[in-house]
Structure 1
Amino acid sequence: MTRTRQVIAGIIGVIALFSVGCSGSDSELKSSDTNSTESTTDPSSTAETTKTTAQPKELAPLGSGEAVTIAFAGDASFEGLSTSVVSNTTGLLSAIEPVMSAADISMVNVETAVGTGGTAVNKEFTFQVPAEALDSLDAAGVDVVTMANNHGMDFGKEGFADTLRIKSEGKMPIIGIGKDDTEAYAPYIKEVNGQRIGIIAANDIYPSSMVTWWTAAPGVPGIASAEEAYQEQLAQAVRDLRPTVNTLAVYLHFGTEKETCPNARQKELVDLMISAGADIVVGTHAHRLQGIGYQGDQLVAFGLSNFIFKAPSAAGNASGVLVVTATGRRIDGYDWKPVQIQNLVPVPLSGAAATAGVAAMDALQSCAGLSPTATGPGFEDSAASSSPTTTKKGK
């Protein structure tokens, strides 16, 4: 069930072109997490005297030469689960924990307000879960979540202030939201196997009457936006991050609900993210699976469907976890791990059911306009020698 690509085997030297320090630690992986951005402009500069910081030289394409695995899963609203069940950190997600924990980095979309404050806004569906939901995800091996979606501010400004307080307490790294636009567009960064992995998240789906006050801005709390009026700010965040990481992923909330093929807007945003420097672009919102495959050398997953969700149909309960293997900018391969949502939580499939789940996902590749293998020029270190072509499989 592994999708592979041809790669050039070479001699990978020790790379020390650029180093960025980061705070926090992960004792098991001997790695570090950050949630910060860097300014390249001196705020004290004037019209007469302008000081700028030289842009860092982009890291070598293959970085340390070591592979890293990243697991991406879909929407987690926790709707329908009692507080006691949500707080059951040892049991709620025990079935999927081996899949999420096996990856070096695992990520999901928390599609709900987090906390207890505020009042539900005037929209059809509103979700809110206690902070203990993040503990359940942590116990299942999830490393980082995005809340850049159309439910992150379901309980208004007061509820969102509670969410930001929980974020500041560090229960779980949360990206895509912040006290202002700088924090909302800030990346999650983790170093694994000598490779720096950076992830940015943004939302393209807003309640029509709430776009302005849900969107983070200077001095204004909110969500990182991918909408057309803000997409250049998102693209610039990707460009700024590109030279400082070995592998760059963007997690978007976009698309049309219940559709299994991406719309034109999704394809437009993917093109923009790739041109800005993304190696991986994944997304959710449709509550259906949409195609996974390569666009040039980059990997795209238009729709990861649901993860912890009250879906009323078989199509909404068919989902999975995407596990990507990357060596720097080179995507070595990916695995689709099919799951079935049972009693609102993901349960991995096996045997014939798993085979059918992979085939169903493969069938969505064509309408997504993606390829089963990389079609670009590829990536290799400048120090790599000419060697026979080999096949490297994803985890």
Structure 2
Amino acid sequence: MTFPRALSMMAVMAALAACTAAVPETPERQRQAAATSSPEPTAPAKPKRQPYTIAFGGDVHFEGFLRARLDNPRTALGPIASVLRKADLAMVNLETAITEGGTPAPGKQYTFRAPASALTALKAAGVDVASMANNHGMDYMETGLADSLAAIKETKFPVVGIGKNDKQAYKPFRKTVNGNRVAIIGATQVMDTEFISAWTAGPGKGGLASAKDEPRLIKAVRQARKNSDTVIVHLHWGTEMEQCPNPAQLSLAPKLVKAGADVVVGGHAHILLGAGYLGKAYVSYGMGNFVFYNSNPATTGRTGVLTLTINGRKILKDKWTPATIQGGVPVPMTGPERKQAVADWKALRSCTGLSSRP
């Protein structure tokens, strides 16, 4: 008796299936099956860096008649805010203690303080970070320092150059912009001699980041360089009313660049100083007054916004938006006066040793 051909084939297939099922499932066979059934997931591609802009303004306080501007934080900085908001990042020097108490620094001719709403006003104007490392940051001594740190924490507004110890004071502000890891450090080269010790942050001691301690500042720059695409150092430096950089500035700038700084910018002199390239890095020796109660239209009233376009370590472009201080706040210039003011700003470079191009 014979079986149909189709039935014979079915029997053969059943026998093969039975044999396959009898083979033990070893770890090696499991790995092979997994490899053929589900390929390894690929890591997402790292975002490509794109150029970004950062705008710098000069010295800001809210003393005297400027205090009333804090009643409306949105307009406290005046029309210059429109320039700051256009940039991806914006920064100023906040030259005041943030306190409504404390005792003025003994023997100091000018002491500045402002309520915490000053930080709110900066944020409303488009400012992303400020430095308080300057010769007025601790005008109200230890109590003012404690109040300042509390206000910074409460408002969550980023401030560099000040802290409860040296680690915090020299710590950079960090933000990734268009794929660029940006680090900004603040420090002051200007302190009244009698306050250097009391105001300088140290291990377990609150205060300001001091550029007089060059090794400590350079260490902070080198640390930031390790994991940043752009390193910026904001300094309080220079000599009041002197239009050319002083020897201390000319000495410090190349050291910071050698340590890894891509941009070095700052102010203190109340007037504008020159800016340009130091090798491939960019240096601005003086941003002048910005939001300030006392100004002369021909000197201390000349101000503006420096906007840099950056990609990684490359400074692609600098732009100067000139302004004049009117009623204590910067008002951007227009027409022929604006063009002349830009030319005047470029001419300040002549005594700096800086170049117009990298």
Counterpart residue number, 2:356: 372
Tell me, what secondary structure is at the counterpart of 1:209? Answer: helix
2:196 to 211, 222, 225: 211
Could you give the per-residue CA deviations for residues 80-104 of structure 1, whole angstroms, max 9, x where no partner exists?
2354422311222240111000000
Confirm whether residue 342 of structure 1 aligns to residue 340 of structure 2: no
Counterpart residue number, 2:175: 190
Confirm whether residue 176 of structure 1 aligns to residue 161 of structure 2: yes
TM-score, normalised by the number of residues in structure 2: 0.85
Aligned residues: 313
2:241 to 250, 255, 258: 258
* Distance in 2 of aligned mates of 1:64 and 1:239: 24
2:123 to 138, 143, 164: 138
Tell me, what secondary structure is at the counterpart of 1:202? Answer: strand
Could you give the per-residue CA deviations for residues 187-241 of structure 1, whole angstroms, max 9, x where no partner exists?
00111111111100100111111100100000000000001xx111100100000
Q: Which has the higher helix share?
A: 2
The answer (yes or no) to whether the contact 2:53–2:307 under 8 Å persists in 1 is yes
- Counterpart amino acid of residue 117 in structure 1: G
1:116 to 100, 107, 114: 100
Could you give the per-residue CA deviations for residues 148-182 of structure 1, whole angstroms, max 9, x where no partner exists?
00000001111111001111223410110000000
For CA contacts below 8 A with separation 6 or more, give which structure has more relative contact order.
Answer: 1
The answer (yes or no) to whether the contact 1:148–1:223 under 8 Å persists in 2 is yes
1:239 to 194, 218, 222: 222
The answer (yes or no) to whether the contact 1:134–1:172 under 8 Å persists in 2 is yes
The answer (yes or no) to whether the contact 2:77–2:291 under 8 Å persists in 1 is no
Could you give the per-residue CA deviations for residues 119-140 of structure 1, whole angstroms, max 9, x where no partner exists?
1112011000111111111111
TM-score, normalised by the number of residues in structure 1: 0.77
Structure 1 unaligned regions, length at least 5: 1-13, 17-62, 375-395
* Distance in 2 of aligned mates of 1:275 and 1:302: 17
- Counterpart amino acid of residue 277 in structure 1: G
Could you give the per-residue CA deviations for residues 44-75 of structure 1, whole angstroms, max 9, x where no partner exists?
xxxxxxxxxxxxxxxxxxx9330010001100
The answer (yes or no) to whether the contact 1:65–1:328 under 8 Å persists in 2 is yes
Confirm whether residue 332 of structure 1 aligns to residue 316 of structure 2: yes
Confirm whether residue 95 of structure 1 aligns to residue 64 of structure 2: no
Give the drift of 1:79: 2.1
* Distance in 2 of aligned mates of 1:224 and 1:281: 15
- Counterpart amino acid of residue 179 in structure 1: K
Structure 2 unaligned regions, length at least 5: 1-43
* Distance in 1 of aligned mates of 2:64 and 2:345: 27
* Distance in 1 of aligned mates of 2:278 and 2:268: 21
1:355 to 304, 321, 339: 339
* Distance in 2 of aligned mates of 1:300 and 1:317: 22
CA gap 1:83/1:257 in 2 versus in 1, 3 angstroms: closer
CA gap 1:15/1:87 in 2 versus in 1, 3 angstroms: farther
Give the drift of 1:15: 7.7
Counterpart residue number, 2:206: 221
1:67 to 47, 51, 61: 51
Tell me, what secondary structure is at the counterpart of 1:322? Answer: strand
The percentage of aligned residue pairs carrying the same residue is: 45
Q: CA RMSD in A?
A: 1.4
* Distance in 2 of aligned mates of 1:81 and 1:15: 53
Tell me, what secondary structure is at the counterpart of 1:125? Answer: coil
* Distance in 2 of aligned mates of 1:236 and 1:15: 32
- Counterpart amino acid of residue 92 in structure 2: V
- Counterpart amino acid of residue 190 in structure 2: I
Greater Cα radius of gyration, structure 1 or 2 = 2
Counterpart residue number, 2:269: 286
CA gap 1:215/1:80 in 2 versus in 1, 3 angstroms: same
The answer (yes or no) to whether the contact 2:187–2:211 under 8 Å persists in 1 is yes
1:107 to 88, 91, 100: 91
Tell me, what secondary structure is at the counterpart of 1:90? Answer: helix
Counterpart residue number, 2:187: 202
* Distance in 1 of aligned mates of 2:257 and 2:71: 38
Tell me, what secondary structure is at the counterpart of 1:74? Answer: strand
Tell me, what secondary structure is at the counterpart of 2:64? Answer: coil
Tell me, what secondary structure is at the counterpart of 1:369? Answer: coil
CA gap 1:82/1:287 in 2 versus in 1, 3 angstroms: closer
Tell me, what secondary structure is at the counterpart of 1:182? Answer: helix
CA gap 1:287/1:83 in 2 versus in 1, 3 angstroms: closer
* Distance in 1 of aligned mates of 2:71 and 2:207: 26
Give the drift of 1:266: 0.3
